[in-house]
A and B are shown apart, each in its own frame.
Chain A
Amino acid sequence: KQEVTQIPAALSVPEGENLVLNCSFTDSAIYNLQWFRQDPGKGLTSLLLIQSSQREQTSGRLNASLDKSSGRSTLYIAASQPGDSATYLCAVRPLSYGQNFVFGPGTRLSVLP
């Protein structure tokens, strides 16, 4: 059964720092991996989608990498801002379990001004 974990569970950094969020999954047989952010009381906003054949995706100050063989993905946030404060979740779509995504528990990020 596919399991997704995220480390750390919470992170607090001063504004301007570069930071890395980690996502690990137990089964490398995936279609894709997606990163989301969730603001309090809101739905999830898609940040980046990486297909299983890709190694990384970039959008603005965000860069996500995927190492399928080791079951890891990282989300790199450059020059963090207070507006980046949110919970960040990763999700994988496994090959073996139909079309259902498996979500990690999230990393709660606080960027202090």
Chain B
Amino acid sequence: GAGVSQSPSNKVTEKGKDVELRCDPISGHTALYWYRQSLGQGLEFLIYFQGNSAPDKSGLPSDRFSAERTGGSVSTLTIQRTQQEDSAVYLCASSPEGVGELFFGEGSRLTVL
């Protein structure tokens, strides 16, 4: 596609529900990243994929968070049993190879009531 696409753009859920956030990277980009940005805060790294494998999962805040990537393309970030502190904007980015330019999507804004 022309850019990194994320869906949904906005998600409101109740505490304890599971949510899935989707990222469709730029076609041909092998590296994919997930970040979280809380209101007024900086970027918090969550996970990095190279192809379908995730060499760096160090940023996932708890075992309620998981992510997968299939076909070297689309990635899904899943948050189980959501908590209010999970409310944030979840940003996805991709790059063409290991050391290329990073491109971001518009983000998915998650609100947990």
Kindly report which residue of chain A lies nearest to residue B47, judged by CB atoms. Answer: A100
Contact A98–B48 (Cβ < 8 Å): yes
Contact A99–B101 (Cβ < 8 Å): no
Contact A101–B56 (Cβ < 8 Å): no
Q: Which of A40-48, A65-73, A77-85 is found at the contact surface with chain B?
A: A40-48
Residues in B neighbouring A31, C-beta threshold 8 A? 99
Contact B102–A98 (Cβ < 8 Å): no
The answer to the question of A28 belonging to the interface, with a C-beta cut-off of 8 Å to chain B, is no
Provide the A96-113 mask, 1 if CB < 8 A to any CB of B, else 0: 001111011110000000
Contact B102–A43 (Cβ < 8 Å): no
Smallest CB–CB gap between A92 and chain B, Å? Answer: 11
Q: Main secondary structure on chain A at its contact with chain B?
A: strand
- Cα-based distance from A45 to B55 in the complex (angstroms): 25
Known A-B contacts: A44-B91, A46-B104, A98-B56. Give 7 more (CB < 8 A).
A42-B106, A43-B104, A44-B93, A91-B102, A99-B55, A100-B45, A104-B42
Give B contacts to A, CB under 8 Å: 4, 31, 33, 42-43, 45, 48, 50, 55-56, 91, 93, 98-99, 101-107, 109
Give A contacts to B, CB under 8 Å: 31-32, 34, 36, 41-46, 49, 89, 91, 93, 98-101, 103-106
